[in-house]
Amino acid sequence: MNMITRIESETGDNKPGVSERLRRMPLWQRGSLVALPVVLVAAGLSIASKDAPAAMAAPPPPVVTVANPLVRDVNEWDDYVGRFEPSRAVEVRPRVSGAIIGVHFTDGAIVQKGQLLFTIDQRPFAAALAEARAGLASAESDLALARSDLGRAERLVSVEAVSKSDVERLQARVRAAGAAVSAAQARVRSRALDMEFTQVRAPIAGRISDRRVDPGNLVAAGEGQGGSLLTTINALDPIYFTFDGSEALFLKTKRAKETGAQASPVEIRLQDETDYKWKGKLDFTDNGLDPKSGTIRGRAVLSNPGMFLTPGMFGNMRLSAGGTTQALMVPDTAIQTDQARKLVLTVGKDGTVAPKPVTLGPVVDGLRIVRSGLTAQDKVVISGTQFAAPGGKVNPKPGKIAPTATSQAPALTAPVTGEATFAR
């Protein structure tokens, strides 16, 4: 007979398994085993909730510094670049030909009008003058004789001792002798001028160049390039400053003149200067624009009593762009950029940040001129702009806008060249 026999483990262990033991436990024990983990988890969560910090409160609005735009009277300028030119320039050439026998100036000196510069050998011209004077004396003698003959003939004509035709011939002779005297006098004046021209004098006052001809050389008189060049003289007081301006700036100047504006003042700074110390005024603009470059030539005139300014020197010029005007100014650091727009952050009465598009002008002592977009009553964020978000809330703190002295640009110096040795 087949019987089902329970198979024992090889080890002979007859202990029931975990599942068998759980099955044999009373119901209340099995419930406690299930509830214990739940209680432990709940206790842990309760402890964790006691140790956790309270939920974070909303942060206070950031603090920014605000101020009203600074209202100041300013002069706006347009910048140009140009060079100095003499107000008058003369090429000194001889008016008579001859040999140079004397030079009476120092190269590069300041000369006055009428000052003697060169002397040409006068002997040939003195002889010609003496000859002309002799011819004048002869012509005057002929005139005197002709007048004497005419007088005698006029006394005899009344007694019919002389014919009327003879008297007319004598009258013609007197007139011819008078004309000869006039011609002789003109020759004397011409020869006297030649004598005077042997002394070459300065036609204008100014700084003279070096001599182009030394004593002993022959010079030729003539017009333009036909005459020998002796030297040149530049008039430096006053002196001109010439520059090229754009069509837009030319139009702005024309519009200002139509409104009755006075001659625009100019200020010029030299290459090694940090401020605009040379003052003048605009006195000339050309009669047309260059169609190739779209610019027009302008000229300013400056006083130069010390003859320091020299033709050919380079300079930076600024031209007044409309006189004194009232402008709103904010720190240049307060200007924000939004793509192609320039913005200024303002704060309303409720502390809300609002950006305002603005039109800007130049910078003066660290302050940017605002041409439009702001009013004098606006509260502009001047510090803490990185914390001010458009549309957000801020805590405004009053501040003040003031110009800041900018450091002067270093003076330009000549490039270091040559060499040096220790003094012995």
Predicted pLDDT at 29: 62
Predicted pLDDT at 13: 47
Q: Which carries the bigger pLDDT value, residue 266 or residue 409?
A: 266
Task: Check if the beta carbon of residue 83 is closer than 8 Å to that of residue 334.
Answer: no
Predicted pLDDT at 270: 92
Structure tokens at 54: 């309270």
Q: Which residues pair with 397 in a beta bridge?
A: 65
Structure tokens at 31: 């419930």
Which residues touch 190 (CB under 8 Å, ≥6 apart)?
A: 132
Which range has highest mean pLDDT (32-36, 102-106, 366-370)? Answer: 102-106
Q: Is the pLDDT of residue 388 over 50?
A: yes
Q: What is the mean pLDDT of the chain?
A: 82
Which range has highest mean pLDDT (179-193, 341-355, 378-392)? Answer: 179-193
Q: Does pTM top 0.75 for this prediction?
A: no
Mapped onto helix, strand or coil, the DSSP state of residue 140 is: helix
Q: Which carries the bigger pLDDT value, residue 5 or residue 252?
A: 252
Round to whole Å and give the CA distance between 257 and 261: 5
Percent of the chain with pLDDT over 70: 79
How many residues would you count in the chain?
424
CA 44-48-51 angle, to 5 degrees, is 145
- The 10s digit of each residue's pLDDT in 58-113 is 688 888 899 999 998 887 788 889 999 999 999 999 999 999 999 999 999 999 99
Predicted pLDDT at 7: 43
Q: Is the pLDDT of residue 202 over 90?
A: yes
Structure tokens at 255: 């519009």
Predicted pLDDT at 136: 93
Q: Which residues pair with 265 in a beta bridge?
A: 281
Round to whole Å and give the CA distance between 119 and 219: 11
**End-to-end distance of the chain based on CA atoms, in angstroms?**
141
C-alpha dihedral (45, 51, 57, 59), degrees to nearest 10: -130
Longest CA–CA separation in the chain, Å: 220
